[in-house]
Amino acid sequence: MAIRRYLLLGVLQGAFAWSAYSIGEFVVSSVFGLARPYAELTPWHWQLTSLLIAGYLLAGLLAGALAGLILYLLTSAVSWVENTDTASVLEAGGTLTLVAAFGANLLAHSSGDIGRVPLLGLSVIFCLLLVAAIRSEKVSERLGLLTNPWIVAIVLLGTGQIFGLLKLREDGSPAGGKAMVFAAGLAVVLLAIVVASVFAGRRLRARFARRPAGKFAPAGAALALACGLLAVSAWLGWPRISSAEAQAAAVQSSSQPNVVIMVMDTVRADHLSLHGYSRRTTPNLEALARDSVVYKNAIAPSDMTLSSHGSLFTGLYAGWHGAHCSPPEASYGRPLSPNVTTLAGILAANGYSTTGVSANVYLRENFGLQRGFQRFRIPRPVPVLSPESWYLLRRGMRRTLTHFVDTAQFDRLFARAEDVNQSAFELMNGQVLARGPFFLFLNYMDAHFPYVPPAPFDTRFPGKIRSLTQDELTEVQEAVVSGHPMSAEEHAHFISQYDGGIAYVDAHIGQVIQWLKRRGVYNNTMIVVVSDHGEQFGEKNLVLHGNSIYQALLHVPMVIKFPGNKRTGVVDEPVSLIDVAPTILSALELPVPENMQGIDLLTSDPANRKQLFSESFPCPALHRSDCPQEGCRAQAVFSWPLKYASSSSGRRELFDLAKDSREDHNILGKEPQVAKELSLELSRWLKTVPVKAGQQSGIEAETLQQLKSLGYVQ
């Protein structure tokens, strides 16, 4: 009977302890996550929360059973446990399993975060106190409620938050001063809780001892709350039809055409079935193409989000609009120059309602890309594994759960395409649509690192390795730029998830098109679908983006449906993202600013243009060994089908893209005169770039952390 009692009470106390921690962890991550603008707990976040709570409950049951068995043996077999209060012994035992797991999670974390060693030390102290309380009834009484799992969870999580606040100051955040005040205040509160749990806890424990049922009240509350949170999370995470999308009443169409731009962030053209890719990644884009012009050889003016979006919105190259990386004063990017006019600004001045929704944090107001938009939203899901959550036990729990279920969505740090559409529909429905012509901009990031498309798109194409985490993917990428190619299995995983992300974005582009059709405004809407840049998967020992001017990054999709479908077909001649703004203005019969460097694709033949240019600025992304840590500056000039590329690393290359689209053969040695002429053209162009005064973006540490997590900043 004794062993059954120990096992039963052990199971209960383990469940109590891990439940208390799970509630505390959920509160900490949610409160600090929801403090950001537009942050919300999305349905997929609730799905992951329910999975975590279930994991904690199961872990608590198993850990409690193991603790009960060990404590029974220590009591009956070797008489090591002298404490006769079995309930308090097992409470301390259940809490000990939690603290041990917390410490093991910290040991498994290799990061050099400033609080790692102190938190490890605190875990060891708690372990020693709990072992002493298990062995001695006198020590247990003196510690009061300090062995209670609620108290232990509060102290561990609160201490972690103190170091999180201190890190804001270390990162140079403008909120660093306030963070220090909050950290000091939190330290005082935690100290008060510890003191109260010892001295006031002695009286409460004695009172509980006289009322046996009262011993389990706080712990029972933890279990009840955890079970309640599990039920609520499962309900909130259940798939639902978007109420905003469901409002499908037709509206009175304006005589002026509407404009919709959708950016498939990080999508390279050669992975679209629209362009002949073997996998069916873009069926909705193919359907749209029947009413549109498809530009087969669209070129991005830069290799990263900030610069390319700046060009998309202004019709200017990055050197002219100013939004690009510029170390050391703005390593992660300068904002758009204040004197530059944007497409949204021009349309707003001509009576358009201008609305934008973006998953990419580079579209923040800090960088000037929201200029001219009357409404702009960046849906910001509360991340389950944010950079500041490095010390939370949920990271270790995720690694455990990976052995049983797919946990890829734990790595998601940005909004899904469905979140972007939901926000757009909410902003656009009703009043905006009734006001007249509108301009809607959407940015989707689901093909972006860490490549975590939701089901069923994650398994639509073969190759997924379910156990790979973001940290492991990063290790593979770092090895590639060091000269070690990824394995065939790793490459297949990257490509399968990237393609799945493209297919998922394509599905939601189709959703927007259907939304326009249901409202009767599709025919009178100009729709532009482009990408800002592509992605590299080991070609030339390069990964991600922001670090080269090869076609994997510069060859992007571009599809334009003109109002009334008045022009369709396929254009083989090269075009650029700088052509989008002047083309839209021309289609709307609005004046095109003279300073725009792009051409109007409605009235101008791109075949008559002599050259196109692209640039890569020294951003702190992953670079090969031939570039310094802060990166190289590189430029390319296109005289179709020839492409000449020059880098500050000293690399010079000439490619014939008609014969060598993968850029495997540098023909510079075979065509020295052509290379010389294109080099002179590039030099002349660079001499015309205006000199910009150094300016910082004022980006806060939190956004910098997100950029780091997404591979933008190393």
**Separation in Å, CA 574 to CA 312, 341, 603:** 16, 25, 15
The pLDDT of residue 533: 98
pLDDT at 69 over 90: yes
Q: Tell me: the pLDDT tens digits for 28-49?
A: 999 888 888 888 899 999 999 9
pLDDT at 67 over 80: yes
| Preceding omega of 641 cis (within 30 degrees of 0) | yes
Q: Tell me: the pLDDT tens digits for 119-145?
A: 999 999 999 999 999 999 899 889 998
The pLDDT of residue 626: 85
* Span 153-164, average pLDDT: 92
Give the confidence band of 714 by pLDDT, cuts at 50, 70, 90: very low
* Span 526-551, average pLDDT: 96
The pLDDT of residue 693: 47
Q: Which two tokens stand for residue 264?
A: 């498939």
pLDDT at 113 over 80: no
Q: Which two tokens stand for residue 664?
A: 């495997």
Give the confidence band of 330 by pLDDT, cuts at 50, 70, 90: confident
* DSSP three-state, residue 539: helix
Q: Which of residues 172 and 225 earns the better pLDDT score?
A: 225
The CATH homologous superfamily to which domain 257-379+415-600 belongs is Alkaline Phosphatase, subunit A (3.40.720.10)
* Span 538-565, average pLDDT: 96
Cβ neighbours, 10 Å, residue 548: 27
Q: Which residues pair with 264 in a beta bridge?
A: 444
- E strand or H helix at 39, and its extent? strand 39-40
| Preceding omega of 450 cis (within 30 degrees of 0) | yes
Q: What is the average pLDDT score of the chain?
A: 89
Q: Which of residues 676 and 202 earns the better pLDDT score?
A: 676
Domain layout of the chain by residue ranges: 2-236, 257-379+415-600
The pLDDT of residue 179: 74
Q: Tell me: the pLDDT tens digits for 590-599?
A: 999 999 999 9
pLDDT at 1 over 70: no
| Percent share of the chain, pLDDT over 90 | 69
The pLDDT of residue 249: 57
Give the confidence band of 388 by pLDDT, cuts at 50, 70, 90: confident
| Percent share of the chain, pLDDT over 70 | 90
Q: Tell me: the pLDDT tens digits for 164-201?
A: 888 766 655 555 567 788 889 999 999 999 999 999 88
User: Cβ contacts of residue 676 below 8 Å, gap of 6+?
Assistant: none
The pLDDT of residue 524: 95
Q: Which two tokens stand for residue 628?
A: 């310094």
Are 244 and 426 contacting, i.e. CB atoms less than 8 angstroms apart? yes
pLDDT at 399 over 50: yes
Q: Which two tokens stand for residue 642?
A: 């020839």
Q: Which of residues 245 and 334 earns the better pLDDT score?
A: 334
pLDDT at 708 over 60: no
Q: Tell me: the pLDDT tens digits for 452-494?
A: 999 999 999 999 999 888 888 989 999 999 999 999 999 999 9
Are 597 and 317 contacting, i.e. CB atoms less than 8 angstroms apart? yes
Judged by phi (left if over 0) then psi (alpha if -120 to 50, else beta), residue 39 lies in beta
What is the distance of C-alpha 528 from the center of its chain?
24
